Amino acid sequence: MEKINIEKKILGENERYAFENIVFLTEKKKLCLNMISSPGSGKTTILTRTINELKDRVRIGVIEGDIQTDIDAERIRATEAPVIQINTEGACHLSAPQISEALKNLPIDELDLIFIENVGNLVCPSAFALGENGKIAVLSVAEGDDKPAKYPAIFAKSKALLLNKIDLLGSGHVDFDLERAKADARRLNKSLEVFPISARTGQGMADWYDWLVNSVAETAK
Amino acid sequence: MEKINIEKKILGENERYAFENIVFLTEKKKLCLNMISSPGSGKTTILTRTINELKDRVRIGVIEGDIQTDIDAERIRATEAPVIQINTEGACHLSAPQISEALKNLPIDELDLIFIENVGNLVCPSAFALGENGKIAVLSVAEGDDKPAKYPAIFAKSKALLLNKIDLLGSGHVDFDLERAKADARRLNKSLEVFPISARTGQGMADWYDWLVNSVAETAK
């Protein structure tokens, strides 16, 4: 019982900050998307390609969450997008107070869209609201088409699902039934947008960009 | 402060069970290995192939941890190995009390080796002792060679590292520097055994089998 009370208290503080963050973002009319996946699904590669290819249409900033290192922030920095690195020092997810601090350090008025790249983990980050406008789940086809069924929370809570590394389909190296993964994810979340993409080759990225541009325009209204 | 005390209490209970489990396994002279990786690194495929190909040399039982579903247990069951499914209902790791219960339900005297397939998560399971003799980390080459640097805990704590899906190397679909991943992991853990394998094609599995057979023989002494 004690454990539950403490968890409530911790979640309570997180949610207070999450609420402040969403109020801040709404007043500023900025879109903020919280990207969640396992390690190695391709979050950073998706972000660097998206930033580079949308450069003339959307001004993007990034909040990078990692347990250790600034390897990912360095990759984002190479695109010249503003980036704030958060090292969680062992924690398996970002928290709303960390995002609050990072938002203060981004040049928010010069941005249209802030991506949060959460710590690589398909489970824990889905339980912590950060004040974002929506979550983006990423699943690589190298991980297997049973993942929406096995890890339902993040698929149920996301606005969009990026099925990455589709250049591997038909290579003979992976078995991944795109329709099964889509159907399982949509069973959990009827309004989920699903984009099969390859951030490596660029395949399918145009639809994802259109969705981002529209979402930014909706937020700026 | 309160939070830290509660965590200590929870860990305390987990460690009491972990201690009982290791005492039980030591008395029975059974080897128990706790397999940890991200979702989709290939844990279940490694286990099914290992069970089938070692059938005449090692009697293997499996404790399957999943947040939801018994998809993995069904795959193990097809090998005819004894398997116990644990559904954590949202929790991101297995705990020692769950293993204690599962060990009671396995035909332990008819087994040489018990594999625990932990919940797919590269972060949280590494913090919870289950009473195992050792941890086995699995990293697929589709996940990127920067993972030992970015998620050090599991690589620091494991007895062996399986670098899976090496059939993808040289396919043109992934960039993964095997030597970098090995060097980073060994920097964290000098005695780490590293096995580059493909559970799909069977490449490299023989060395992993030899290591298992030797480890079982050492435990049975």
Share of chain B above pLDDT 90, in %: 90
Alpha helices in B29-116 (DSSP H): 43-53, 71-77, 96-105
Please name the member of B71, B121, B173 whose beta carbon is closest to the beta carbon of A149.
Answer: B71
Q: Is B64 helix (H, G, I), strand (E, B) or coil?
A: strand
- A123/B68 touch (CB, cutoff 8 Å), yes or no: no
pLDDT tens track for B52-92: 999 999 999 999 999 999 999 999 999 999 999 999 988 99
Alpha helices in chain A (DSSP H): 2-28, 43-53, 71-77, 96-105, 147-150, 152-157, 178-188, 205-220
pLDDT tens track for B10-41: 568 898 999 999 999 999 999 999 999 999 99
Q: Does pLDDT of B172 surpass 60?
A: yes
- SS3 percent helix, strand, coil of chain A, rounded to 5, is 50, 20, 35
pTM of the model: 0.85
Chain B residues with CB under 8 Å of A67 CB are 123, 150-153
- B40/A120 touch (CB, cutoff 8 Å), yes or no: no
Cα B175 from Cα B119, distance rounded (Å): 27
* Chain A contact residues (CB < 8 Å to B): 2-3, 6, 10, 38-41, 66-69, 71-72, 90, 92, 119-124, 140, 142-144, 146-147, 149-153, 165, 167-168, 171, 173, 200
For chain B, how far is it from start to end, CA to CA, in angstroms?
46
b/e sequence A26-45, b meaning 16+ C-beta within 10 Å: eeeebbbbbbbbbbbbbbbb
- A168/B173 touch (CB, cutoff 8 Å), yes or no: yes
Mutation site, A36, A68, A92, interface B, largest B CB count within 10 A: A92
Please name the member of B67, B147, B171 whose beta carbon is closest to the beta carbon of A171.
Answer: B171
pLDDT tens track for A194-219: 999 999 999 999 999 999 999 999 99
Chain A residues with CB under 8 Å of B39 CB are 38, 122, 143-144, 147, 150-151
In this prediction, residue A144 has a pLDDT band, given cuts at 50, 70 and 90, of very high
pLDDT at position A44? 97
pLDDT at position A184? 96
Q: Does pLDDT of A32 surpass 50?
A: yes
**CA dihedral of A62, A68, A69, A75, whole degrees rounded to 10:** -30
Please name the member of A71, A151, A152 whose beta carbon is closest to the beta carbon of B39.
Answer: A151
In this prediction, residue A13 has a pLDDT band, given cuts at 50, 70 and 90, of confident
Please tell me which residue of chain B has the smallest CA distance to A124. B92
Chain A residues with CB under 8 Å of B123 CB are 67, 92, 119-121, 124
